[in-house]
Amino acid sequence: MAPVERSPTLLNHGSEDEMECRGYKTNSYKAFLCLSVVFLCGGGPVGVLLAMLVFRWRPDWKLRATKSRCPLYRADAVLLKDIYGQCWTETVDIIYVPVDEWSCGQMPEGGDCSSYKEEDGDEDDEETSLTSANDKKRLCVRFFDHQHVRYIWNSNISCFTKLRGLDDTTPCSYFYQLGGLTREEQHRKCALYGENSIYIEVKSYSRLLFEEVLNPFYVFQIFSVILWSLNDYYIYASCIVVISVISISVELYEIRKQAETLRDMVALEAEVSVWRGDSVYEDIPGQELVPGDVITIPPYGTMMACDAVLITGNCIVNESMLTGESVPVTKTPLPNPPPTEGQDPCVYISEEHKRHTLFCGTQVIQTRYYGGEKVKAVVIRTGFVTAKGELVRSILFPKPMGFKFYQDAMRFLAVLAGLAVIGFSYSVYMMISFKAPVKEIILRALDMITVIVPPALPAAMTVGSVYAQRRLMKQGIFCISPPRINVSGKTKLVCFDKTGTLTEDGLDLWGVVPADMSVVKNAADLPRGALLAAMASCHSLTLIEGEMTGDPLDLKMFEATDWLLEEPGPDNTRFDILAPTVVKPVTADTFIMGASSQTPYEIGILRQFPFSSSLQRMSVITRTLGNRNMDVYLKGAPEMVASLCIKETVPPDFHTTLMRYTLQGFRVIAFAWKMLDTSIKFHHLQKIQRDQVETDLTFLGLMVMQNALKPETTPTIQQLREANIRTVMVTGDNMLTAVSVARNCRMVLSNDTVILVTANPPEEGQPAHITWTYSEHPTEDSVVQGQGQQPGKWDSGADMSEPLVEYDMSYQNIQIEEPEGTYHFAVSGKSFAVIRNHFPDLIPKMCVRGTVFARMSPNQKAQLVESLQDLGYCVAMCGDGANDCGALKTAHAGISLSEAEASVASPFTSKIPNIQCVPTVIREGRAALVTSFGSFKYMALYSMVQFVSIITLYSIDSNLGDIQYLYIDLAITTSVALFMGWQEAYPKLVPQRPLGSLMAPVNLFSVVGQVVLMIAVQVGTFVYLKQQPWFVPLKPDPKSDNILCYETTVVFSVTSYLYIVLAAAFSKGRPYRRPLYTNYVFMMSLMILLGFSTLLLLHPFTPLAKFIELKVDMPFHFRLVLLAIVSAYCIIVFVIEDFVVTSQVLRKLFRLRKKLPKNRYKLLEKELAENPDWPPVGETTYAVGEKYQDSTHS
């Protein structure tokens, strides 16, 4: 018999979806024993029903109670636990798949049939279970489905693994070997992969009602209503039922509406043309697609129903649904380099090859094809494992927010539950002492539980974010995750993308700098040649419905050449093949081919290698009409382009001239060119690899673009700085350009120092090392007045190997022994990667002092956000492009600048096209957080007030009346809780962030102080009543409710004021919300409630007093004394909340017991401030094994 696995198996190890997995199998004896215990101890059928209810809430308990632990390969059920502590149970099923169906890349971790087996439960060895059907062997596969993802048993690693398609393990050559699946093969695969659909179940109202009623909150409501009815509180119980019915009806409507909206958003029913081999094509429903199918893309586009890899032709795709990026992108065929000896074959990697992947849910606008060949793509993922499916899953199953407020709220509820147990025990004791009937003892004791744990408490926790979400919507900011609003209120650091976020979207061409001449301001004035041809052809522009579309930089560049762009047409065959795009001058100039013939000067773009963030470049292969050879034009980051060029063609002062422009904030693009050999023909182009053509190029020159700051950028950065919120720039642009923009927007102040951190990987026997150098920047006068040498002409005689040199008076090298201001690190993406791999101990310091992160890839942006979060920062991220999606989703508060109303790529989407939305989100987050705190504290104090009242009245065998409960719980508490959240956010951000923990000493002091004061008032007035000469104590009557008495009247009259005063005190205004008096509806409700409560206290006319069950014969002077006590209480409450709780003295007092900051970044800031010898500027830090050491430059 196989031993039981004691430790859980990890699924998805190392990923954010990592889960612990434990196996269980049915144990009939254990299940019978569980049922028997429940039936006998729980009172028969009632106990069984209660057990079913508990097991519904905690299915892991049911699994443990009815099944036994076993090895995973024998399990018929699994218990899953994620990294957040959430548990699920799933049933293990079996499917039968033909053995010949397994092929390379179709399964995770290898994918051969021997990996997926049915084990013999009586043996330790694992054997394959094959069955025969129609003379075909079938493989028995164990699997379970979890959150729409299928996990299959892999005996090679003795673990369940995700069922994937043809992604991340498949050789690129495999896609070109596929000849299309037959109908039979497709059906077989469908049995394993399931239907290709992202199906969102829209449950019926009856099912929704059943599931919602079984929610613990509503079960507690039902329990409370039954209890109140048994206590003869019919009116109050009826009102609660009506309110609950209305609430649940609205909730069910919203849930179903959201489900329908999501279903309609993701629904896609389309016919897809599938290649069956040879010249056979078949139109099938998109739901029947499986990985391995070869589909054709229609010439005029389609909506993708799956993820597919492009193998022939080009596609223009709108990916805004996934990325928020409105600019269409060009997709090209997957590279298929020939195998090289000694090297592993090139494999498909999703992130690396996304420019060759058509993602599910994106719109293919149009296709480009060659000759009569169709545009084909191979299906790699279907259903919920596609890019669109993953996004839908993130909406259906959001990750829990590890926010301290919610964690502390659960602890506070546990404290209230403890008090409920005490109240329950006290009630039982008092009722027994009064010799009450058993039924009354039980009802009164259970009633105490409903008092101390108010049913409305969960709703009170969300009221702040709900109202903040509505206010944000009015300001053009949409939120798809309301809990994130509260989290955004704790923001300590904001990361900004540069282009399109801090700076304008549009780029203006400042000039062109050829390699051999001065600056040319107008690109159209360039002589006809390689540089002009590069600007006219090296882009990804396309015509959509007659309008040129593409990257804004490409648009500006092409418009500056004054050329025309033509899309292919049916007669466009003058290049011998069907060229995707033709560009030509506007004028009727001709290209002279010979003395007797003139050929129009036109360039056909034959092949595109699209721009890649990781490669920092794009290139095209073109042919000029009449030429026998083809040309390669390349553009990209100047440093990258120069590294690909023949060294002799790069001007010797390339770095110096480049730096002159980047230091002034210009965006600089470099061009290069080479002529291909005439032996390369058109049919070679579709197989040639970009690294074969992007080498040994001739440097052509630079294009200098102006990218001005948005007018709102600098004031917003200043506003965040004044609020003590750190700002960081994370961009894919040039380092020195980014530093210049950071200085211009005052992210880096004029007296601050920027230190360039340059890290290099190990090479030629030298270990990885970091150099620390001061950045240079123009002197203030030269930049403002434009003095000094005109940058633009290539200087000669400079050493190209020295990137940092001094030059004419326009710039100066900052030599600072001790910087006057603070210092900031500027780190490139390449250096960031080296530091992560070889100097991981330095990453926290880079994050604490890093302000400019340039040349960062999309993945590195997300890594940076995660590193900042690990240090304890609450991070917001603001960006507008596809490169920011990962960071936007990773950040606590991701804000996407987009025209769309909501983007699934980030929690917040702003129609405000600038960073002014960031302070708005933070302000509303702070207001929502403070409101949630106030509402929670109010509900907790409301419970405590009523708890003390009931305990007091139970001591004399009395209780509050039905109408009295109704007035307190509905008229006061419900209206107050409803209108508290209407208080708007304060218009100014202050340096002090709101508290994020209910258990913070200041909050505990507030709550405990108010509880003590409230008890003092209630006990004091009760004792004062008993001292009055006219007072007649209640004589309990077993046959009566004992409500109409002096004690009940005083307790009710005084506590009515307590609820109202506490609501006002916890609705604090500045510095996070507008003053209390600006919440007009709330103020009006408080005034009405105060007026009515005063009427009940001072002069309740007889019919009203009789209706509410109040004594009317108390002396007026006694009533005035009670009013005076309540007024004094009101003053003390406001003094505590507005002066004591917020005082710096109290905060400093609590800090005395706080030895060290909890957040790591504060410890690091303190450590760096106390170490004047670090960073070692002017030195090189070498990695030595796992350690590193500093060495001074010689």
Give the residue numbers marked as catalytic: 497
DSSP three-state, residue 318:
strand
CB 460 within 8 A of CB 975: no
Encoded amino acid at 980, one letter: M
Cβ proximity of 838 and 729 under 8 Å: no
Separation CA 331–CA 736 (nearest Å): 31
Strands 823-828 and 850-854: parallel
Distance in angstroms (rounded) separating the CA atoms of residues 580 and 741: 38
Stated length of the chain: 1194
Do residues 173 and 345 make contact, with C-beta atoms less than 8 angstroms apart?
A: yes
Contact present, 924 and 472 (Cβ < 8 Å): yes
The answer to whether 847 and 871 are in contact (CB under 8 A) is yes
843 neighbors 867 (Cβ within 8 angstroms)? yes
Structure tokens at 295: 């589909």
The alpha-carbon radius of gyration of the chain (Å, integer) is 36
CB 535 within 8 A of CB 561: yes
Sign of CA dihedral 1098, 1102, 1106, 1111: positive
Q: Give the DSSP H/E element, type plus range, for residue 619.
A: strand 617-624
Beta partners for 1183?
1188
Token duo for residue 1123: 């009013």
Residue written as tokens 């290539």? 794
**Cβ-proximal residues to 552 (8 Å cutoff; 6+ apart), any chain:** 327, 505, 506, 507
CA dist., res. 1023 & res. 1051, Å (int): 11
Contact 738, 852 (CB under 8 A): yes
Q: Does residue 946 contact residue 451 with C-beta atoms inside 8 Å?
A: yes
Query: Residue 79: phi, psi to the nearest 5?
Result: -105, 120
Residues 327, 384: contact at Cβ < 8 Å? no
CA count, 13 A, side-chain hemisphere, 544:
19
Report how far residue 1149's alpha carbon sits from residue 464's, in angstroms, rounded to the nearest whole number: 30
Peptide bond into 1071 cis (omega under 30): yes
Q: What is the amino acid identity at position 1022? A: F
What strand order describes the sheet that includes 603-612? 508-514, 698-706, 667-675, 631-636, 617-624, 603-612, 581-585, 563-566
Q: Which of 895, 903, 888 is nearest to 265 (CA)?
A: 903
What CA–CA distance (Å, rounded) separates 661 from 792? 8
Q: How many CB atoms lie within 10 A of CB 993?
A: 19
End-to-end Cα separation, the chain, in angstroms: 69
- Residue 508, classified by CB atoms within 10 Å of its CB into exposed (0-12), middle (13-18) or buried (19+), is exposed
d(Cα 723, Cα 1020) in Å, to the nearest integer? 45
Cβ-contact 623, 603 below 8 angstroms: yes
Q: Where are the alpha helices (DSSP H) in 957-1079?
A: 962-966, 975-980, 1001-1026, 1046-1065
3-state helix, strand, coil in the chain (%, to 5): 40, 20, 35
Between CA 1119 and CA 1050 the distance in angstroms is: 9
Q: How far apart are CA 1083 and CA 982, in angstroms?
A: 11
